[in-house]
Amino acid sequence: MTVPPDTAVRPWARAAVGRVPTPPAGPARRQRRPVTLIAAGCLVAALLALPLAFLLIEAVGSGTAQVAQLTFRGLTAQLLWNTVKLTVVVTALCAVIGTAAAWCVERTSLPGRRAWEVLIVVPLAIPDFVVSFGWSSLWTWVQGFRGAVVVLTLAVYPLVYLPVAASFRAADPGQEEVARSLGVGRARTFVRITLAQARGAILGGCLLVAMVMLAEYGAFEILGYQTFTTEIFSEFSLSFSVPAASALSLVLVLLGLIVLAGEGLARGKGKVSRSGPLAARKLAPHRLGKATVPVLAGFAALTALALGVPVGSAVYWIFEGGAHALAGVTLPTAAVTTAGYGVAAAALDTVLALPLALLAVRHSGRAHHLLERSTYLVLAMPGVVAAFALSYFTEHYLGGIGYQSAPLLILCYAIMFFPLALVGVKASLARAPVSLDEVARSLGQRRLAVLVRVTLRLAAPGLAAAFCLVFLSVVTELTATLLLIPTGAQTLATQFWAYESNLSYGQAAPFALAMIVIAAVPSYVLGRFFNRSAQAERMIIT
Amino acid sequence: MTQLTVTGVSKAYGGRRVLDGVDLEVPENSLTAILGPSGSGKTTLLRVIAGFEQADSGTVRLGGLVVDGPATHVPPESRRIGYVPQEGSLFPHLTVAANIGFGLPRRERRSRGKAVADLLDAVGMTALGHRYPHQLSGGQQQRVALARALAVKPGIVLLDEPFGSLDAGLRAAIRADVRRLLAAAGATAILVTHDQDEALSTADQVAVLRDGVIAQYAAPDELYNRPADPAVARFIGEANLIDGILADGCVDTVLGPLPVRADARSGLAPGPVTVLLRPEQIEIGERNGSRGLAGRIVSLGFHGHDAVVHVEPEQQPGTEQQPGTEQQPGTEQQPGTEQLNTGQLNTGQPGTGAIIVRTLGGCGLPAGSAVTLRARGPVPAWPRLTTL
């Protein structure tokens, strides 16, 4: 046994006399900042700022007088009303449907939840323009505002469902039990605890929906509903009026800013934190009881409308149009091309999202927050703007090298869908506690090793989800693809569009089905994979 | 040999000093507790030692090497520390065996590796190596967290309130286990805690941290019997702090004359002082004309092995005259405090002025009984504090 050093007993004079603060010996040492992360984050943000830079350069180039003239006219007001009206209605509908579906699947005794888990998400794999093709080619009333609300809601509600379901899975179950114990009823617990826990996810999903509404082109074109984006597309690619399109795009970016700010305000400063058990505990699902049948009916109806109608319509047109001989030639080639672009862009985005997500989650600060937020702006920009921006840059600074090449198109996709990847990566990183990183470092692991062996492993489900989201979006992307696709190549979307514009529905339909299949496969496989590993963990207990 | 030396370490967060010149030396193969109330900076100190935080000034040496100093900051992964955080923080995606093997070189990581198997055995979880953290109880999780820290053969093990989330019975068992495991591994360890019992019963020496400075650093018995000042005395266990007048190595108090401990006499001038009487130094008896301080029992707390009795002193004509009262030069004489100006200043029970007495097996008297108190020396003493 060792003897404590004699010197250790210090008379506590200072406590009695009053404390005299001793100044530090030298200037306070600086805490190490995550320099590598910040540098990488800035690079990514700069890359994503390219479209905005293009817009500003164009606007400045054409002079303020012309910009003002192009901006303040009757057309702009009409487009503004159309766009805002649709965005608000669709976002609200998606929030309700997405959250309700997520809660039923994750937290109740819904029969067949494994199947619903997949069926509910699959509509995301169906391009918006295919959904509108499906509806409007069958029923003529699906036009204009009414048609746009129906079609777009059914096409994009999974953007709310996915993050909210993930948040329900990760939420601390104890809080609901505590609320009930404090005499708060079922319904009020749902509002005050369950929804509050998922608030960030719901708002994040709504943000995505609103931004997609601002940027959508193909579906509105088919439905004959005029928004900023459709107008910009025609100004850009039909009238070749770059200044006019730039001016309208600036208004659109402003709208995007307003949505972002609104989401930021609604989110507030509250942070959802987990306290309590050392490891996650499963909550017993709520019994649906008598509500089982109505809820099941609701799920069936949702699936029929969001999945059944577009798929059924495509199948109908294949038989009705009899187009096998004509379409069979390019379908496999187009499918391979599409999948290749999708994988490349999704991988690129997942990697690009990491530094910004790490900064946002692990080193939160005003500057890092702004840096991360800035990247959401690209969602407010139509794909056509990103595509033009990249061709503009290759033309002016690279002497045309890379224009209409596969890498440029992939980069364009990566820029456009970056926010999707960021949301997923951030959410998953937030679930990997910092204390685990610290333990790993204390065990002799370097930062990079900790990232690979702990942080990314824990974030893996979220990373895979982010990858999937980007992949699905690329497969279903139309506008930028039309402009940047390498000469001679065709993706499923461009080939579909060519036939659809030509009213050759029978020949367009196989491409629509192929897109659905190619985008649905990864989500199904991933769903299966995660369920299995979760089951395996549960098996060990018994 | 000294394993850890902390010299003059200060740390501030946004202008608030959390550590204010901490000095600490931890000898090899010993368990040192850092004890302090919440907000005293003990976790910050641990995190500075671990390398998760960097000190603003001062140095930290581990095994003789400077790991944190004016020009150096060795990252946590290069410090050879074992870190057991408050909640265990097991990796949820890894099995128990993989958790324990996490810090080992790649080829030793497999659960069949000897290092991992030995540790699983040591923590008594050989059969549970394939389980995942969420399938373990809190105590098991903490054992695994400790095994994981010990697996890398650390120079020093840092335990951050590791027993806080366990229930009392389990806590004692795990505490003993941890002691045994640390001793078997020959490890040097630092235990951060706010629990005095835990610190005194588990550690070889205890550093009391308060307001960012080490108030006292000593072995548990010394800390209890010879606290550096009244504030530490009050923090470590229950304490009666009683005023008196020192003359000839003896203090006159309301409880009669008490000899001052020989080691506390140096530097103490005759005159007003404050002495420490632990509850077990006071004897309680039914009042039947016997000498001593008269009082009434105000409350009783029965603990099985002993009972804690709170006694309110009474001013009683006929009993022994309160020494010290009349000599007091009016420092704290105030109207309305007649009863307490007898010089007894009790910070163990702020506000009530009651004296705490501990009796083996209880005193057999109900609350409200009239009693007399007698005290045994020797006692530590400090110059009288006007405020505390």
Per-residue pLDDT of A451-508, as tens digits, reads: 888 888 888 877 887 888 888 888 888 888 888 888 788 888 888 888 888 778 888 8
Higher pLDDT, B158 or A166: B158
Residue A414 is encoded by which pair of tokens? 């990566």
Q: What is the 3-state secondary structure (H, E, C) of A458-499?
A: HHHHHHHHHHHHHHHHHHCCCHHHHHHCCCCCCCHHHHHHHH
Res A4: pLDDT: 38
Contact B219 A3 (CB under 8 A): yes
Measure in Å the smallest separation between the Cα of A148 and chain B Cα atoms.
44
User: Considering chain A, what is the average pLDDT of its residues?
Assistant: 77
Give kind and range of the element (H or E) at residue A331: helix A331-362
Is the CB of residue A438 less than 8 Å away from at least one CB of chain B?
Answer: yes
Contact assessment for residue B33 and residue B193, using Cβ atoms and an 8 Å cutoff: yes
Using a CB-CB distance cutoff of 8 angstroms, which residues of chain A are in contact with residue B90? 278-279
In terms of CA atoms, which chain B residue is nearest residue A24? B57
The mean pLDDT value for A523-541 works out to: 49
pTM to 2 decimals?
0.69
Give the rounded distance of the alpha carbon of A488 from its chain centre: 31
CB atoms within 10 A of CB A105: 23
Query: Given an 8 Å threshold on Cβ–Cβ distance, is B17 in contact with A21?
Result: yes
- Identity of the residue in B70, B83, B232 whose CB atom sits nearest the CB atom of A439: B83
Q: pLDDT band for A360, please (50, 70, 90 cuts).
A: confident
Most confident of A352-366, B220-234, B295-309: B220-234
> Are B232 and A12 a contacting pair at CB < 8 A?
yes
Least Cα separation, residue A526 to chain B (angstroms): 18
Asked if B101 contacts B111 with a C-beta cutoff of 8 angstroms, the reply is yes
Show which of residues 444-463 on chain A sit within 8 Å of chain B, judged by CB atoms. Answer: 444-447, 450, 453-454, 457-458
The residue with tokens 């990314």 is A456
ipTM for this prediction: 0.72
- The answer to whether residues A490 and A480 touch, using CB atoms and an 8 Å cutoff, is no
Model confidence pLDDT, tens digit, residues A16-66: 333 334 444 444 455 566 788 888 888 888 888 877 787 777 777 767 777
> In angstroms, what separates the C-alpha of B96 from chain A's closest C-alpha?
13
Which residues of chain A are within 8 Å of residue B75 when distances are taken between CB atoms? 441, 446-447
Question: How far apart are the C-alpha atoms of A322 and A340, rounded to whole Å?
Answer: 29
B-chain CB neighbours of A2 within 8 Å are 27-30, 204-205
Give the strand pairing for B370-375 and B282-286: antiparallel
Question: Is the CB of A12 less than 8 angstroms away from the CB of B10?
Answer: no
- The alpha carbon of residue A435 is apart from the nearest alpha carbon of chain B, in Å, by 6
Residue A14 has a pLDDT of: 33
Q: Please tell me if residue B118 touches chain A, with a CB cutoff of 8 Å.
A: no
Can you give the pLDDT at residue B112? 62
How is residue A32 written in tokens? 């190490």
Whether B72 contacts chain A with CB within 8 A: no
B245 touches chain A (CB under 8 A): no
Confidence of residue A70 (pLDDT cuts 50, 70, 90): confident
List, in order, residues 6 or more apart from B196 with CB less than 8 Å away.
B35, B235, B236, B237
Contacts of B381 in chain A (CB under 8 A): none
Chain A nearest C-alpha distance from B203 (Å): 11
Provide the β-strand partners of residue B388: none
Q: Strand, helix or coil at B162?
A: coil
Q: Do A8 and B207 touch (CB under 8 A)?
A: yes
Which of B4, B66, B102, B146 is best to mutate for the A interface (most A CBs within 10 A)?
Answer: B102
Chain B from 132 to 191: CB within 8 A of any A CB: 132-136, 138, 141, 145, 148-149, 151-152, 158, 165
Residue A95 has pLDDT above 90, yes or no: yes
- Contact call for B10 and A24, based on CB within 8 A: yes
Whether the ω angle into residue B378 lies within 30 degrees of 0, i.e. cis, is yes
Q: Which of B384 and A302 is assigned the larger pLDDT?
A: A302
| Cβ contact A19–B141 (<8 Å) | no
Q: Would you call A279 an interface residue with chain B, using a CB distance cutoff of 8 Å?
A: yes
Structure confidence at residue B317 (pLDDT): 41
Supply the mean pLDDT for chain B.
81
pLDDT for the residue numbered B343: 45
Residue of A273, A282, A435, A439 to mutate for B, most B C-beta atoms under 10 A: A439
Mean pLDDT value across residues B151-155? 86
Query: Would you state the structure tokens that stand for residue A361, as one six-digit string?
Result: 């989650």
Compute the distance between CA of residue B76 and CA of residue A244 in angstroms, rounded to an integer.
57
Q: Do A28 and B85 touch (CB under 8 A)?
A: no
Nearest to B133 among A24, A278, A442 (CB): A278
Cβ distance of A442 and B83 shorter than 8 Å: yes
The residues pairing with B25 across neighbouring beta strands, listed in sequence order, are B5
pLDDT band at B385 (very low <50, low <70, confident <90, very high): low
CA-closest candidate to residue B312, choices B273, B370, B230, B387: B370
Does A15 sit within 8 Å of B229, measured CB to CB?
A: yes
Q: What are the two backbone dihedrals, phi and then psi, of residue B366, each rounded to the nearest 5 degrees?
A: -80, 165
Cβ pair A442:B8 closer than 8 A = no
Tell whether A3 lies on the interface with B, counting CB pairs under 8 A: yes
How many other C-beta atoms lie within 10 A of the C-beta of residue A460?
A: 15
170-199 in A: which are within 8 Å (CB) of B?
none
Distance CA B377, CA B388 (A): 23
Tokens read off for A54: 């293009």
In the predicted structure, residue B95 carries a pLDDT above the cut 70 = yes
Residues of A in contact with B133 (CB under 8 A): 278-279
- Give contacts of A11 with chain B, Cβ < 8 Å: 228-229
> Quick one: closest CA in A to B76, which residue?
A442
Least confident of A35-39, A85-89, A144-148, A393-397: A393-397
Residue B1: the pLDDT is 64
Between positions 342 and 401 of A, the ones with CB within 8 A of B are none
**CB distance from A10 to chain B under 8 Å?**
yes
Closest by CA position to B200, among listed B31, B6, B81: B31
Residues of chain B in contact with residue A454, where contact means CB-CB under 8 angstroms, are 91
Chain B partners within 8 Å of A279 (Cβ): 90, 92, 132-134, 136, 141
Q: How far A458 CA lies from chain B's nearest CA (Å)?
A: 7
Mean pLDDT across B11-21: 87
> What single letter denotes the amino acid at residue B329?
P
- How large is the average pLDDT for residues B141-159? 89
Cα(A13)–Cα(B229) distance, integer angstroms: 9
Q: Give me the total of CB pairs closer than 8 Å, taking one residue from chain A and one from chain B.
A: 170
Element (H, E) at B355: strand B355-360
Res A530: pLDDT: 52
A181 or A448: which carries more pLDDT confidence? A448
Task: List domains and CATH numbers for chain A.
Answer: 34-270+291-538 (1.10.3720.10)
CB contact (8 A) between residue B85 and residue A435: yes
Q: Of residues A60 and A525, which shows the higher confidence score?
A: A60
| DSSP letter string, B205-216 | EEEEEETTEEEE
User: pLDDT at residue A382 above 80?
Assistant: no
Q: Which residue has the higher pLDDT, A347 or A513?
A: A347
